[in-house]
Structure formats: C-alpha cells, structure tokens
Structure 1
Amino acid sequence: MELLYLLFSIVFTSFTTLILSLILPFHALLRRLVSSRASSSSSSDEAEPISLYEGTVYHQRRHPVHHSFQYRVRYALIDIDRAPHAPPNHLSPDEARRITGTNGTILLLTIPPSVGYEQNPLSVYYCYDVEESATCLKKCIAEVTNTPWAERVTFIFNPHSDLVAKALHVSPFMDMLGSWNIKASDPGDYLSISISVHHPEFGNYFTASLKAKKLHSSSASDHAVFFWLMPHKVAVWIYWHAIKLWWKNVQFIQHPRYATPTYRDEALIRDRNLQCCGFSAERENKKDCLSSEASPRDRWFRWIDAKWPWS
C-alpha cells in the first residue's frame, strides 16, 4: 500500500511541478520589475535577511556494505526575524528563543520549497545570545525530516559537538539503535555540518556532511530561479541511492511504529543515558545508568507525525 502512495505522490508532484515551472518565468519577470522599482526608491544599506549558500552533501556508509555518494546542493540562510516571507512549517524566532533560552538573532538554514514541492532532510536553526554587547552562537536546533513519510523530529543540540539518540526512522536501511554525533560551525563565508552515526554493534558506520560557501554574486537575486527543482534533485538522490542499497542486498527495515510503537519513549531514555554516561556499546541500551549518577535535564524533542497518505 505504501508503494502505491509513493507512486501517487510522485505522479502528483510531477504534474504540479510541470505546471508551476511553466508559470515561473512570468513570475520571475514580474518580481524583477517590482524589485527594480523598489530598489530605485530605497536607499537603505541594511544587510539582506537571506544569504545564499552553495556546496556539497557527502554520505558514506561502511556497514554492511561500503556505499558513498555526493551531490551539489543550494541552501538559504534566513534571518527569520527580518525576512518578509520565511518558509512555512518551521519554528518562529520567538519559539526558537524560548526553546533554547537565547535572546539574540535566529538564523534558519534550509532549502526553500520550489514549484510546489519541499524536501528538507535537515534544517538547522542557529540561535545566538547577546552577552555584554558580544554575540555568540549558543545553541542550535535541528529539524530532521524522513523520506517519504515526511515525519519530523526537532531537537536542541550543542553546535560545538553533541551526541543525540536517534529519534526518527530516517532511513529504511538503518535501525533505531544508533546515536547521532552532530557538529555545526558558525555560518559565515563558509559553513559546515557533520553527522556521524554511532551504533552499539557496528560502531561509527555512517557519516554525512554538508560543506557550503556563501555566494556574494547578485546573479542569484531571484531566489525562485536559484532554487528551481533543488528539492526535487535532493529527492531523486535519496530514492536513487535507496534503490542502490536495496540492489546491494542491504536489509530493509520496517518503520518502528509497526513493531515498536514506543520507539520515541525509548529514544528519550537512550538520550538521557547518553547525556549522563556518554556513548559505549555496553551502556547504549541500558536504562539503569542514570540511577548511579546525577540525572541530567531532559533534552527538548518534538515530533510531528506523517500527514496523509502516510499517516
């Protein structure tokens, strides 16, 4: 049944993309006329609320087979306090500040929707604190979305380095026992994000990274054209390499909601264990580690369920 839903989704998205892509040149021309008039009547030197980045996503799997790939990607870094039209279905800046306990700027790194379609495996909020006139990156919030279910888990992490229990069925070729070691640089002319999966049995067997450079050219001023089909390209890469893993006989793992409906609660327990005891193969799945040490404050997680037809 899920295969039929997937085929329906692909057909519907393809039709919508075609129609909106045909309209896109007219919208682009209209926006250019409006923006040229607005720029001629405005003398403000204030920095733009949206910065554009272009870079490379790299994946490497080392178990049970070796499989790696990379692809070019484009991202927007959005000051969501100042942007006139922030992407929908994301946290507001006030929500992000409340969740992280920060008081400064909130920047959102994401791939904006294009011609009716959105595909964002990972979006990151950079949450800044202002202390004695100095601004520093204090916390980050990750939004991880799985394909094709479009479920989402959102959680806080320390950008310098953090270990977070895997809390979402991100890939049908990975079980839920791994933990994410995640790190993010303070975005400037360059930015980087790295995630490695630590598993109690397989060790550090998967790595993903994003390295991107900020674009300063005015040739990318039309964001709709700049991001045209970017979400679609990401989706194609995800499905294509899923087929390759299946062809290599990597085990297909059913969504845990069928076999283990309490997988989210179990992820919370494993995350408390990680904060208290760190990672080790012996401690990863034990629930009694907390009893011998001070219990840490629970990490903030939020899940969003899949929408129809995946719900």
Structure 2
Amino acid sequence: MELLFLLGSIIWNTVISLALSLLLPFRLLLRWLLPSDDDGGLTLYEGVVWHERRRPVHHSFQYNVRYALIDLDCSPLSSSSSNHFSADEARQIAETSGPVSLLTIPPSVGYEQNPLSLYYCYELEDSTASLKKCIAEVTNTPWGERVTFVFDPSSDVVAKALHVSPFMDMQGSWKMKATAPGRDLSVVISVQHPDLGEHFCAVLRAQRVSSSNAPDQMFFFWLMPHKVAVWIYWHALKLWWKSVSFVQHPRYSYPAYREEAVSLDKKLNCCKAGVYGTSGVCLREDKDVVGHQFSWTDAKWPWS
C-alpha cells in the first residue's frame, strides 16, 4: 500500500512541478520588470554532498547541491508561514542570545525536499557573535517525519532518533560536526553502529556564491529539491540491487523506538571523560547531564 502511495505522490508532484515550471518565465519577467534590492537576508551556497556506506556492502556516491543560508532576523520567515523555526523560536530552543541563520534548500515549483536543515545559533560576547549551538532538523524520505535537536557544532554524539533509511536500522548514534558559514561551510555526519562500527558517513561541503555572480533565486534553486529526491530513490534501488537488507519502519515493529533513543542519548551524554565500551555506550554516569531534547513531527497523510 505504501508503494502505491509513493507512486501516487511522485506522479502528483511531477504534474504540479511541471505546471509551475511553465509559469516560471512569467514570474522571472515580473521580477525583472519590478526589481528589488532586498535579498531577504539570503546568501547562496553551492557545493557537493558525498555519501559512503562501508558495511555490510560498500556503496558511495556524490551529487551537486545548492543551499540558501537565511538570516532569520532579517527574513520574513516565520513559523506561521513556514515549516521551519523563526529566529526567536530557535534562540529559545538553543538558549542563545545572538543571530540565527538557517541553512536549507528552499521549495522549488511546489516541492520541498530537505533531508537536513541546520540552524546556526550564535552567542553575543563583548559585541561579537560566535557560533554556540546548532539545531539539526532531520527529515526522512518518503515519510516526511522530522526530528529536531540541539548539538554542539565543534563535535557531538547523538543517539539515532529517526528512521532515515529503509536500509539502515535504528541502532547506534550520529557523530556530528559543522563549521560556521563563511566563504565556505562543511557538515560531517558519521554513523556509529554497535555491530558494524563506523559504517556510514555523509559530508556536505559548499562555497558561497559571489553576490555579483548570483543568478535569480528561482532559477538557482529550480528543481533542486527534485534532484535530491531522485538521488535518494535511485541509490535506494541500487542498495536493494546489492541485496542490502530492507528494514521495516520501527513504528510497525517497535513503537517504543523514540523512548529508546532518548534513553540511549542520555547514556551517550553521561560520560564527560569520553570512556566508551565496545557497544559505544558510556561506561560512567553523570545524572546532571541532559540529552539532546528531541522533538518529533509525525508523518502526514497518507504516510500517517
């Protein structure tokens, strides 16, 4: 049944995107006739996403990607008109006082696909702002479920809290690191599994697009979400062809997976000395250490 829903969703989004793409030249003409100097606090980035799965079979690929870095204090983006947090909401979650920027792939011709969006939350110190925390916003495909959590961008370990791939189980943790956006930026995520070790790694590296060479935003991001979705589905087929085991969504087989992720996350964060056993679980306990405060958004119809 879910396969039928998936095919229907692909067909529906294709039709809508085709219709809106036909209108795109008229929208571009209107913006050319009525130009605006306001960039909405938006900076363009272009780079590469690289994935490598080392076990149980080796599989790697990379694709070009385009991102927008949005200054949420300058942008009209708000929770009432967007699926993302506003600047004040992000500051409250991260417990910071400075500017907030959102790295994301904007919707294009009626479609949005964002496996990962990042909020960069800065702290004001002596009239200067330094990157203090990041908020990860992880969304799985095709269900559209989402989990958000705060992490330390210098380096952090977070219990796996979302079924992001039907070819990967829920065991293990994410090791995450992100640099502050400047002329370039990077995000590195590796998966530590109790049996397979560090068996998966995903890396984003991007460079800022010069404002003098920046194209129109609608053209720059045209079909970018669609390309990301195509890469996800295409390499899922390749993994299936390589006989990688299919893992059913834990909501069917183990509904308490979220509570287990919270429990594992507390264990991972209880050890300040970083002493871990072979299973990746901390060997010491510190009851004062708090986990990453996960917040989940359930799948919408027809996946709910």
Into which bin does the TM-score normalised by the smaller protein fall? over 0.9
Is structure 2 residue 19 aligned with structure 1 residue 22?
A: no
Q: Which 4+ residue blocks in structure 1 deviate beyond 2 angstroms?
A: 84-87, 217-221, 277-284, 292-295
Deviation at 1:295, TM superposition (A): 3.9
Measured after TM superposition, the shift of residue 218 of structure 1 is 3.4
CA contact (8 A) 1:200 1:280 kept: no
Q: Does 1:280 align with 2:274?
A: no
Distance in 2, matches of 1:257 and 1:76, equals 33
| 1:82-231 matched pairs, under 5 angstroms | 82-85=74-77, 88-231=82-225
CA distance in 2, matches of 1:48, 1:283: 44
Q: Structure 1 stretches of 5 or more lacking a match?
A: 40-45
The Cα shift of 1:88 comes to: 1.6
Which AA in structure 2 matches 1:66?
H
Equivalent position amino acid for 1:79 in 2? D
Of 42, 60, 68, 2:60 maps to 68
Confirm whether residue 298 of structure 1 aligns to residue 291 of structure 2.
yes
Match of 1:34 in 2: 34
Matched position secondary structure for 1:264: helix
Deviations 1:217-255 (A, max 9, x none): 434341111100000000000000000000000000000
Is contact 1:77-1:110 (8 Å) kept? yes
Judging by fraction of residues, say which structure has more helix: 1
Alignment of 1:233-252 (within 5 A): 233-252=227-246
Q: Which amino acid in 2 is paired with 1:298?
A: G
Structure 1 residues 47 and 21 mapped into 2: Cα distance closer, same or farther (>3 Å)? closer
Tell me the secondary structure at the aligned position of residue 82 of structure 1: coil
Against the structure 1 CA distance between its residues 47 and 235, is the aligned structure 2 distance closer, same or farther, given a 3 Å change threshold?
closer
Number of positions where the alignment pairs a residue of Structure 1 with one of Structure 2: 299
Contact 1:199 1:281 in 2 (8 A): no
Letter in 2 for 1:62: R
1:44-74 Cα distance to aligned partner (Å, 9 max, x none): xx98610000000000000110000000000
TM superposition shift of 1:282: 3.4
Q: Partners in 2 of 1:203 and 1:172 — Cα distance?
A: 19
SS in 2 for 1:89: coil
Q: Partners of 2:39 and 2:217 in 1: how far apart?
A: 16
Task: Supply the AA of the counterpart residue of 2:71.
Answer: D
Report if aligned partners of 1:140, 1:158 keep a CA contact under 8 Å in 2. Answer: yes
Q: For 1:281, give the aligned amino acid.
A: T
TM-score (norm 1): 0.92
Q: Is the 8 A contact 1:64 1:250 kept in 2?
A: yes
Structure 2 gap segments, 5+ residues each: none
Q: Tell me the distance in 1 between the aligned counterparts of 2:122 and 2:58.
A: 38
Residue identity matched to 1:309:
P
**Corresponding residue SS for 1:164:** strand
Mark the CA change 1:132 to 1:47 in structure 2 (over 3 Å): closer, same or farther.
farther
Kept after mapping to 2: 8 A contact 1:201/1:281: no
Please give the secondary structure, in 1, of the residue aligned with 2:269: helix
CA distance in 2, matches of 1:85, 1:48: 9
CA deviations on 1:177-230 (whole Å, 9 max, x unpaired) are 120000000100000000000011110000000000000143434111110000
SS in 2 for 1:276: coil
TM-score, normalised relative to structure 2: 0.94
Aligned partner of 1:102: which letter?
A: T
SS of aligned partner of 1:63: coil
Aligned partner letter, 1:80: L
Partners of 1:221 and 1:175 in 2: CA distance: 41
2:12 maps to: 12
Identity %: 61
SS at match of 1:228: coil
